[in-house]
Structure 1
Amino acid sequence: MRFRWWRATVLTAVAVFALVYVAGLTRLGEAEADQLHAVPVLAADPAGELDALRSAAPVPGDDPAAALETALADPETAAALVASEPTADSGELGAALAELHDAGGDLDPLEVNDFFTGLGDDATAWLALLYPSTVAEMPGAPFDARIAANRLILEATTAASTTYDSPSRPWTDDAERPAREELQALVGTDRQFLYLDPYNNNGDGSWIEVVGDLHTAENVAVLVPGGSAVLSSENFELYYNRAKSFVDAADGKLAIVVWAAASWPSGWVEESWASWSQVAAESLASFTFDLRNQIGADTPLTLAGHSYGGAVIGYAETYDVAADQVLHIASAGMGNDVYSPADYTEPCRPRYSITGPGDPISYVQGMPYVPLLGHGADPDDFPGNRNLVTGNLSDAPDAVDDYGLSLADQGISGKPVEGVHSHSEIFFPHSDAWNNILKVLLNETPELADEQPEPYEPCS
C-alpha cells in the first residue's frame, strides 16, 4: 500500500521533531555535565620565565602596547602569535596557562581574575600578546587583555580567510578569495571584543562586544540580541548600532556589552526551542559575575534582552545573576518553564517590559508549558513587572531608524510604535520607546504604561 503524501509529510515532521528534541536534551546534558576547573596557584615569581617567553617571541621591544601594534601591522606575525599555545613543559607560568587553556572555559571567572591580578598589568598585557588564543576567550581574564588578544585574532582570522580552499571559478582567471566581509570591515577599527569566535555557529561566528567605556561609565548594561545573532548576519551590525545609539546619547554615562557568546538559533523553528536559550543562559549568568567583578560593586548593572534574547535573560535568572535590574524588550518570554517570580533565584529583582501593540512576538509570549518548547510567561503580564510606554516614533526632521535611514523619507515620521514593524521600531532613536529604554539603562524613572501586571505580593 502506498503512503499518501500527507502521511509521508506527517512522518517526516515527527521524525524532525524527535531529532531536534533529542538534540536539545543532548545540548542540555552537555551543559549540565560541565564542572569548574581549579585555577592554579603560582609558587614562584614568574618574571624570569616571562622574560624568556618575550625574548623568544616574534615581536621586539619592552612595551607590550607598542609590540601589539607591530604585530597587528604584519598578518604573518599576528597569525604566528594566534597559533601559539602555552605548554606544560615551558615552566610554571607556561604550565599554569596551559592548564587554564585546557579547561576550555569551565573556570570561576573571579578566581581567574585573581590569577591575572597577581601577575600585574604589564605581565598580563604581554601574555595577551604572546598567547592571544588562550587569553581572548578566558572567563575572568582582564577585559583590556581580552580586547587586545581579540584584535590579533581578528587580524589573523581575516587574513586566513583569503587562503581557504574554494571551488574552481572558470569564469575568471583571478583565483584569489576575498576576505570574509564581516571581518574585513572590523580590521583597523576601534571596536572592542571580549570574545570573538569566527568559527562558532557552523562558521557564522559569535561574539561579545563592548560599546562605550567600561572604565568610566556610571551605568553598564548587557544587551542580548534576538535570533540570528551571528557575525555573518546583519544583526551583528544592527545590535552594535542600537547599543551605540544609547551610549552616544548618554554622553559617557553608559556602556553596553552586546552578548552573543553562544550557539544561536535562526528562524522561528529553531527559536521556538528552549534548549538554545537554556545553554546560553547558563553561560550568560556566569558572565555577569565576571562583568560585575571587573566594573565594581557600585556600578548599576542592567540585564536586557530583545526578542529571543529575552528568553535567554529570563532563563538566566533561574541561576544566580549579578544584575541590579532586568529589561525585556519585545521579549519572547520570561524563560522556559518560568511562570512566577518564585521560579527565579531573586524573585524581587526589579524588572521592566516593553512591547509594541500588535508586535507579532505577542503570539508566542506566554505559551503553555511543553518540555523544551517555548519561553515561559508573557513579560507584559508577569507579576511585578513594570510595563513601559512605547508611544510614537520621533517626528524630528533628522530622525532616523536603526540603520541610519531617514524616517521622513520612509513616510513613518511620528507614527505610533505598533504593528508588525514595532518589533524593530522599538529601537529607533529618540522614539518614545527608545527614550524609555534609555531611562531604564541609566537607572532613571521611565514612563509607565496605563495597564500594569498584578504586583507580586511577597515583594510588595
Structure 2
Amino acid sequence: MRFRWWRATVLTAVGALALVYLAGITRIGGAEAEQLQDVPALTADPTAELAAIRDGAPVSGADPATALEAAAADPATAAALAAAEPSADTGELGAALASLQSAEGDLDPVEVNAFFTDLGAEPTAWLAVLYPSVVAELPGAPFDARIAANRLVLEATTAASTAYASPERPWTADAERPARAELTALIGTDRQFLYLDPYNNAGDGSWIEVVGDLHTAENVAVLVPGGSAVLSSENFELYYNRAKSFVDAADGELAIVVWAAASWPSGWVEESWASWSQVAAESLASFTFDLRNQIGEDTPLTLAGHSYGGAVIGYAETHEVEADQILHIASAGMGNEVYSPEDYTEPCRPRYSITAPGDPISYVQGMPYVPLLGHGADPDDFPGVQNLATGKLSDAPGAVDDYGLSLAEQGLSGKTVEGVHSHSEIFYPESDAWNNILKVLLNEAPGLADEQPEAYAPCA
C-alpha cells in the first residue's frame, strides 16, 4: 500500500511525457502538411478601386505618409484601420487582398513581393495604412510597408489592452486596465517591426524587428534569440540591445533582423524538445528567402542563433535556406538529427561557433540521438566549423554589459569570459567575444580559438 503513490507518480510522469511527445509529433506533422497557395494577379488598374476604399476609410491626408502619421497619432483611428478587412465587394484589389489574408502566410514570399511590385510603391503604401492588419503580417510584402502597418497595429493593440476581456460588470463600466507595459514603451519610438503579434505565445507575443537600415547596410544578419523570446520577457529588450550594440559599432555597415516569429519555448524542459525548433526553423527558412529577395543577391547575409536559437538556425539548414554563412553563439546544437554536414542541404556553407569555457549550454550540446529530444551535434566539435576565441571582457573605463550597466561597478572589468555567466557575457560590448562576433557579421576575419574541429574533407 505504501508504494502506491510511487506507482501513481511514475504513471503520471510517463503519461505527461507521452502527451508532450505526441504534441511534438502533431506540431511537426502540422508544419509538414502545409502547401503553398497561389498568389492572385490583378488584371485591371486598381486606381479607382483604391480611391473608393480611401474615401470610405477614416483617414486624413493627401498622401500615404501624411495619412500614416495622422492615424498613428489617434488610437481610435488606428484601431478602426486595424479592424478593417478587405473584401471582394470593393473589387479585384479587395478580393486579392482578402485571398492573401486568408492564406495565413502559406505563400511564396517572393511571389507576394512581385504582386506588390506590380501594384506600385504608392498604392502599396496606401494599403499599409488602409489594411494594416493584412500587410503587417504578410510575408513578402515590402518591408517598408510592413513597418508602417505595424505602427498602426502597435497603436491599436496597445489601446485594446486597456479593455477588460470579459462581459461588462458594474465595477468595470468606467474602468480601464493599464496598457501593456511592453507595448506602451514602444509608442513614439523609431523601432521597426516586420511582424508584431502581441497575442501569440499564449498572449506573451512574438516579433521580427529590424535594427539598422536594410536599404543602405553593406552586411545583413538575422539573429535568432534564445529561449523565452516573447514580448513580455526581458529578452525582448535584451536582444534589441545586443543587436543595436553591433549595428552602432558598425557605423552603417550592418543591419540586423531579430527574428522571433514563432511559438517559443520557455525553460530547460520545453527547450529540450526538438519540435519547437523544427517548426520555427521552417518559418525561418522561408523568411530568409523573403529577406534575400528584398536586400538583393549581392548583400552578404549571415544567419546567427544564440542558445536555443542555434537549434533553430541549425535545423533551418536542413531546409533550403538563404544565407552566406552561419554563426552559432553559445548554441544548443546544430539541429535535431544533424550529426554531419551531409545532413544539411549545403554541407560546405561557412560556419562559425563560439562557446565560452564553463558555459552551462555545454551540458546539452551534442546529446545522443533520441527522437524529438535534443538539438543534434555539438557546434564546437562539428566538422568544418571555425571556433571563435572568447577571450576577456573589456577593461575600458566606460565598458558596460548588455543591459548598459558598468562593468567596473560590477567588478567585471577585464574578466575572462568563462563560467555560468559567460552564456550572456559573450554579448558584452567590446569584449573579445563580442568583437569576434562583430567581425563575422561584417564578413571580416575573426580571432579563432586554439582548438578547432577537424576539417570536413569534401569541402576542404
Q: Please indicate, yes or no, whether the TM-score normalized by the shorter chain is above 0.5.
A: yes
Alignment partner, residue 217 of structure 1? 217
Aligned positions of 1:286-297 closer than 5 A: 286-297=286-297
* CA distance, structure 1, for counterparts of residue 10 and residue 394 of structure 2: 48
Q: Secondary structure at the match of 1:380?
A: helix
How far has the Cα of 1:175 moved from its partner?
A: 3.9
Deviating more after overlay: 160-169 vs 139-148 = 160-169
Secondary structure (helix, strand or coil) at the match of 2:408 reads helix
Q: After superposing the two structures, state which structure 1 stretch, 159-168 or 419-428, moved more.
A: 159-168
Q: Is residue 2:302 matched to residue 1:302?
A: yes
The 1:170–1:363 alpha-carbon spacing in structure 2 relative to 1, beyond 3 Å, is farther
Q: How does 1:231-270 map to 2 (within 5 A)?
A: 231-270=231-270
Query: Can you give the 5+ residue segments of structure 2 that lack an aligned partner in the other structure?
Result: none
- Secondary structure of the residue aligned to 2:392 is coil
| Rounded Cα–Cα distance in structure 1 between residues aligned with 2:198 and 2:222 | 21
Aligned-pair CA distance for 1:7: 2.3
The superposition leaves residues 248-298 of structure 1 with CA deviations (integer Å, 9 ceiling, x where unpaired) of 000000000000000000000000000000000000000000000000100
Match of 2:207 in 1: 207
CA distance in 2, matches of 1:168, 1:157: 19
Amino acid at match of 1:351: R
CA offsets per residue over residues 20-65 of structure 1, 9 Å max, x none?
A: 0010011011101111010011111111111111111111232100
Alignment match, 2:279:
279
Contact 2:61 2:70 in 1 (8 A): no
> Could you list the per-position Cα deviations for residues 333-362 of structure 1 after superposition, in whole angstroms to 9, with x for gaps in the alignment?
000000000000000000000000000000
Is residue 169–residue 175 contact of structure 1 (8 Å, CA) maintained in 2? Answer: no
CA distance in 2, matches of 1:8, 1:314: 39
- Name the residue aligned to 1:14: 14
Q: Residues 198, 64 of structure 1: CA spacing in aligned structure 2 closer, same or farther, 3 A cutoff?
A: same
Amino acid at match of 2:46: P
CA contact (8 A) 2:164 2:176 kept: no
**Equivalent residues in 2 for 1:132-147, closer than 5 Å:** 132-147=132-147
Residue 64 of structure 1 aligns to which amino acid in structure 2? Answer: P
- Residue 379 of structure 2 aligns to a residue whose secondary structure is coil
**Counterpart in the other structure of 1:365:** 365
Query: 2:188: which partner in 1?
Result: 188
Partner of 1:336: 336
TM-score w.r.t. length of structure 1: 0.98
- Do the aligned partners of residues 416 and 170 (structure 1) sit closer, same or farther apart at CA in structure 2, a change above 3 Å counting? farther
Equivalent residue runs for 1:34-433 within 5 Å: 34-165=34-165, 175-433=175-433
Q: Which runs of 5+ in 1 are unaligned?
A: none
Look up the equivalent residue of 2:87 and give its one-letter code. T
Q: How far is 1:168 from its partner? A: 11
Distance change >3 Å, CA 444–CA 76, structure 1 → 2: same
For residue 381 of structure 2, give the secondary structure of its aligned residue in structure 1. coil
Give the Cα separation in 1 of the matches to 2:4 and 2:169: 43
* 1:32 paired residue number: 32
Q: CA RMSD in A?
A: 1.7
Q: What is the DSSP-based 3-state SS (H/G/I as helix, E as strand, rest coil) of the residue aligned with 1:370? A: coil
CA 1:44–1:171 in structure 2 vs 1: closer, same or farther (change >3 Å)?
Answer: closer
What do residues 119-142 of structure 1 show as CA deviations (whole Å, max 9, x unaligned)?
111000000100011100101000
CA distance in 2, matches of 1:213, 1:50: 30
Alpha carbons 1:168, 1:175 under 8 Å: kept: no
The one-letter code of the counterpart of 1:233 is S
Q: Secondary structure at the match of 1:149?
A: helix
CA distance in 2, matches of 1:370, 1:410: 41
Contact 2:282 2:316 in 1 (8 A): yes
Q: TM-score, normalised by structure 2?
A: 0.98
Residue type of the alignment partner of 1:183: L
Checking the alignment, whether the CA contact within 8 Å between 1:210 and 1:255 is kept in structure 2 is yes
Partner of 1:407, secondary structure, is coil
Structure 1 position 5, deviation (Å): 3.1
- The percent identity for this pair of structures is 84
Partner amino acid, structure 1, of 2:423 = H
In structure 1, C-alpha distance between the alignment counterparts of 2:408 and 2:275, rounded to whole Å: 41
Paired residues in the alignment total 460
* Residue 437 (str. 1) matches residue 440 (str. 2): no
Question: Shift in Å at residue 173 of structure 1?
Answer: 12
Following the alignment from structure 1 to structure 2, what is the Cα–Cα distance between the partners of residues 123 and 171?
46
The whole-number CA distance in structure 2 between the counterparts of 1:172 and 1:258 is 38
CA distance in 1, matches of 2:3, 2:141: 59
Measure, in 1, the Cα distance between the counterparts of 2:247 and 2:356: 23
The Cα of 1:166 is off from its aligned counterpart by 7.1
Q: Secondary structure at the match of 2:401?
A: coil
For 1:360, the aligned partner's letter is P
C-alpha distance after superposition, 1:38-93 (max 9, x if no partner): 00111111111111111111112321000001001111100000000101222000
CA distance in 2, matches of 1:68, 1:171: 36
**Most deviating of 3-12 and 215-224:** 3-12
Whichever residue aligns with residue 455 of structure 2, its letter is P
Aligned-partner residue type, residue 46 of structure 1: P
Whole-Å separation in 2 of the counterparts to 1:225 and 1:64: 34
SS of equivalent residue, structure 1 residue 255: strand
SS of the residue aligned with 2:266?
Answer: coil
Kindly provide the CA deviation profile for residues 130-173 of structure 1, in whole angstroms up to 9, marking residues without a partner as x. Answer: 00111001010000000000000000000010112479999999
- 1:295-322 CA distance string (max 9 Å, x none): 0100000000000000000000000111
Alignment CA distance shift 1:130-1:399 (3 Å): same
Give yes or no for contact 2:194–2:207 (8 Å, CA) kept in 1: yes
- Is the partner of 1:183 in helix, strand or coil? helix
- Write the distance in 2 (CA, Å) between the matches of 1:432 and 1:102: 48
Q: Provide the rounded CA distance (Å) in 1 between the counterparts of 2:456 and 2:128.
A: 47
Residue aligning to 1:448: 448
